[in-house]
Amino acid sequence: MALYALILAGGRGTRFWPRSRASRAKQVLEFLGAGTLIQQTVARLSPVVREERMWVLTSPLLRSEIIRQLPNVPPRQVLAEPAQRNTAPAIGLACHILESLDPRAVVGVFPADHFIARPKPFLTIVRRAFREAAAGHIAIIGIHPRWPETGYGYIEFAPGSGQVRRFVEKPDLATAKRFLRSGRYAWNAGMFFWRPRVFLDALRRHLPKTASLLASLPPFDDRNFTRKLASVFPQCENISVDYAVMEKVRGVVGFAAGDIGWSDVGSWNAVYELLAKDSSGNALKGDVLVLDAAGNYVEAPHKLVALLGVQDLIVVDTPDALLVARRDRAQRVSELVKLLESRRRDLL
């Protein structure tokens, strides 16, 4: 078997405005330690998957930056999706290509923009998931839940087995608490494993229109491939792989990762939580002067910032835009970006 990684890097990541912009989305930014999130994803996986077998799916706006950031990934394997069609068509496209290029291929799907503090135990589980996939199964890695998060999807395991019973999208708080107590649920972190043929069979059954559109594409090295893709891909259904496939297939093998220090890096507050703090709970990047201020996150590479008497704020300064937000409202930064769409498109 030949292990391939399919790295999904198409997101906009508007919650990281003003640092993230359309052409500098979350996955190509550096938040935690050395390297951007996508560089860290590639480095983390490289003991298991050779970089020349990594493929990236992204938007046209990000492709050249990703090629620049990943010098060991062949540029032709960084695919620009001609339209935003969520994960099902994107993964289908990649599996369609890999199926034709390497019949021994076993594929793992990974988000480009998550953080994992302890890669070693993570890779142990990745190897096991690849083995299940090589044996013809669909495998998934879930994250052992640490709090009753209502913003994630959950995977329910059948009692006493590694079999996935069902997927549950964003539950309400009471349900999430019940999930946590039961011990049978894991967060769905979007990491899937399969042979391309297995996935394409499932796609044909559950999303036949997209499956046949992708089947109509010429071979990847055909000189008409890109042109044909540009006309075919926008016709695919706009749907996630979770809804389109995972919730419908039977016999999914699940692995719950516990102590790997996973984070989806979902907001400025999530970054704050992952960073080292000073004795007042401030996480400060840049030249920051603090007087009687606590619990703040500051990112300001270009100038001195002075905090006086303030608590639990996010302050992110860029050359053309400054964000000052309550830390517990960091999820709502995407609403600010929506407001900007009608006012200052130059800052998106």
317 is an interface residue for its own copies by CB under 8 A? yes
Q: Which is nearer to its own copies, 7 or 333 (CB)?
A: 333
3 state SS of 251: coil
Q: Which is nearer to its own copies, 276 or 304 (CB)?
A: 304
299 is an interface residue for its own copies by CB under 8 A? no
305 is an interface residue for its own copies by CB under 8 A? yes
Closest contact distance (angstroms) between CB of 345 and its own copies is: 12
Scanning 126-134, 148-156, 183-191, 302-310 for contacts with its own copies by CB under 8 A, the matching segment is 302-310
292 is an interface residue for its own copies by CB under 8 A? yes
Would you state the structure tokens that stand for residue 255, as one six-digit string?
């692995």
Scanning 21-29, 33-41, 62-70, 340-348 for contacts with its own copies by CB under 8 A, the matching segment is 340-348
Closest CA to 7 of 73, 60, 84, 64: 73
Concatenating the DSSP letter of every residue in 148-192 gives: --SSS-EEEEPTTSSBEEEEE-S--HHHHHHHHHHS-EEEEEEEE
342 is an interface residue for its own copies by CB under 8 A? no
Q: Which is nearer to its own copies, 149 or 317 (CB)?
A: 317
Concatenating the DSSP letter of every residue in 18-33 gives: TT-BTTB-GGGS--SS
Closest contact distance (angstroms) between CB of 37 and its own copies is: 23
Would you state the structure tokens that stand for residue 110, as one six-digit string?
């990974």
DSSP structural state of residue 270: H
Would you state the structure tokens that stand for residue 27, as one six-digit string?
């996955």
22 is an interface residue for its own copies by CB under 8 A? no
Among 43, 48, 300, 348, contact with its own copies (rule: CB under 8 A): 300
How do beta strands 54-58 and 154-157 pair?
unpaired
Amino acid at 15: R
Among 61, 239, 294, 321, contact with its own copies (rule: CB under 8 A): 321
Q: Are 130 and 108 in contact (CB under 8 A)?
A: yes
CA distances from 140 to 86, 167, 335 (A): 19, 11, 32
By CB under 8 A, how many residues form the interface with its own copies?
A: 38
Q: Which residues bind its own copies (CB under 8 A)?
A: 17-18, 287, 289, 291-292, 300, 303-310, 313, 315, 317-326, 328-329, 332-333, 335-336, 339-340, 343-344, 347
